[in-house]
Structure formats: structure tokens, C-alpha cells
Structure 1
Amino acid sequence: MTLVGIGVLLIGMAFIILAIFIGHALNNLAGVLSGIDKTVQQLPKQLDNVFKETGNMISESNNTLVDVNDKLHQLSPLFYIVGDVGNATRKFSSSLVDVTDSVKTKTDDGNDVADSNKLGGLYGSFALGYYWLKKRQEMKKAKGEFTDGNQS
């Protein structure tokens, strides 16, 4: 065999090995494409189920929304009543605040007059003196009844 024959033989063997690898890769590709074909064939059935469930879900959502709206319409008068009660309470409390402020202002004015005239201590002294006087009269009266009771 000559060198050309050996070269042709090596090239032939390389082509056979290359053909075996390419055949194996194509066989794997055919398996993958077969799986894709099965998946694509099942896709319309799965999409039909998905669309059917989506339609049911939208229908239930609409029913729930109608029910919620109906219940809100039924509760609206209650909300108006609560709002009216809140407004009445706010008005009442604001009038109480006004009365309290006016009483506080009058009291502050009286304290200012007493402080400016230095009458606070004087009024306190008169009140204490009056209290002692009344207490002393009660004690004398009680003592007189006690001595009258012993003599009898």
C-alpha cells in the first residue's frame, strides 16, 4: 500500500467515526423533537382547561364584587348615622370647650383682681377667724349643755 492509499484509508475511517458521532447527535435531537411534539400536541387541551378556569374565576370575581357592592349599599345608612353622631358629638364637645374656656377666663379674672388688690390673704384671714368664732360658740354651747345635764 502506498502512502496515498493509507491517507485515503485514514480519511475514510475519520468519515466513519464522524458519521457515527453525527448519527448519535441526530438521534438525540430526534428524541428531543419527539418530546416537543408531544408537548405541543397536549398544549391546546391544557390551554382550554386554563381558559375555562380563568373564565370561572372571572365569573366568581364578578359575583363577589356584586355581593360586596350590595352589602355596601345596605351599610351606607349606618355610615351616615355614625357620621351624624360624630358631628353631633364634635359640636357638643366644642360647646363644652367654649364653656370651660369662659369659666376659666372668669376664674383667671377673679384671681387677677384678688392678686392685684392683695386681698387673698385678707379673705383667708377673715375666713379663718369666722371659722374659729363659730367653733368656739359650738364648744361653749356643747359645754353648757353638758354641765346642765350633770346638774339634773
Structure 2
Amino acid sequence: MDWAGLGVIIIGLAMLGLVFLLVKPLKSLTKVLANLQNTTNDLPNQMTEIMTGLKNTLSSANEAIRQLNEQFGKIAPIFQIIGNIGTSLQNLFRVMANINEEMRQKTDNPMMEHYHLEGIYGVMALGYSIYQRRKTKK
């Protein structure tokens, strides 16, 4: 035998020793891959269950939103009435302010300003104007 043959035999023996060293880790790797296969086999069923649960949850949420929309539709006229009342009160206060300002300009009494009677005088003027309107309607 020559040196090349001896080199090939030594490399072969080294490879055989390497195979004996790697048998145990390769068996462990085989077990891990088998367990991974078992886990991934259950994955489609788990995804189906998750998707079904999600679908049910979304359906419940849609039903709740639909019920809220119906209830808000029933309450909407109340908000419109409240808005109309606010507008009416705003107009009433504007009229009261105008009447108060007109009476203040007409009287220009320093005693009113001294005793802060402008508000009382304005309410009295509003009462008088309402009395006059009722009188004209009859």
C-alpha cells in the first residue's frame, strides 16, 4: 500500500468515529422533528376553532352595534327637542336683553345703576311685554 491508501483508510476511520459520535444527537433530532410533526398536525384544527370563535365574537359585536343604532334612533327625537328648547331659550334671552337695553336707554336713571336694579327692571319689562302681547291676542 502506498501513502494515498493509508490516508484514505485513516479518513475512513475518522468518518466512522464521527458517525458513532453523531448517532445520539441525530436520534434526538429525529425525536424533536417527530414531535414537531405531531404539533403541526393539530394546527389546522386549532386554527379552525380560533376562526370559529372569532366569527362568533364578531357576529355578537355586530348585533350589539345594531341594537345601539336602533336605540340611538329612538333617542334622536329627544335630542332634537332639547336642541329646539335651547334655541327657544336663546331667542327668549335675546328678546329679554333687547327689552332691558331699550328700557335702560329710555330711562337712563342713575339710581338703577347705583342699586343694581337693571335685572329686576328687565324682568318687569318682560312681564309687561308678555302682558301686552296676551292683551292684543284676545
Q: TM-score, normalised by structure 1?
A: 0.57
Name 1:77's counterpart in structure 2. 77
Describe how 1:6-45 pairs up with structure 2 within 5 A.
Answer: 10-45=10-45
Give the 3 Å change call, closer, same or farther, for CA 23–105 of structure 1 in structure 2: farther
Distance in 2, matches of 1:106 and 1:17, equals 121
Give the 3 Å change call, closer, same or farther, for CA 16–87 of structure 1 in structure 2: same
Letter in 2 for 1:100: N
**What is the deviation of 1:8?**
5.9
What are the ranges of 5 or more consecutive residues in structure 1 without an aligned counterpart? 112-152
- Is 2:124 the counterpart of 1:94? no
Distance in 2, matches of 1:81 and 1:68, equals 20
Give the 3 Å change call, closer, same or farther, for CA 12–97 of structure 1 in structure 2: same
| Percent identity between the two aligned chains | 25
More relative contact order, 1 or 2 (CA 8 Å, 6+ apart): 2
Q: TM-score, normalised by structure 2?
A: 0.62
RMSD across aligned positions (CA): 2.9
**What is the deviation of 1:85?**
0.8
Question: How many residues in Structure 1 have an aligned counterpart in Structure 2?
Answer: 110
**What is the deviation of 1:7?**
5.5
- State the Cα deviation string for residues 12-50 of structure 1 (Å, max 9, x = none): 442133213433343232222112211111112111211
Distance in 2, matches of 1:51 and 1:4, equals 65
Letter in 1 for 2:29: L
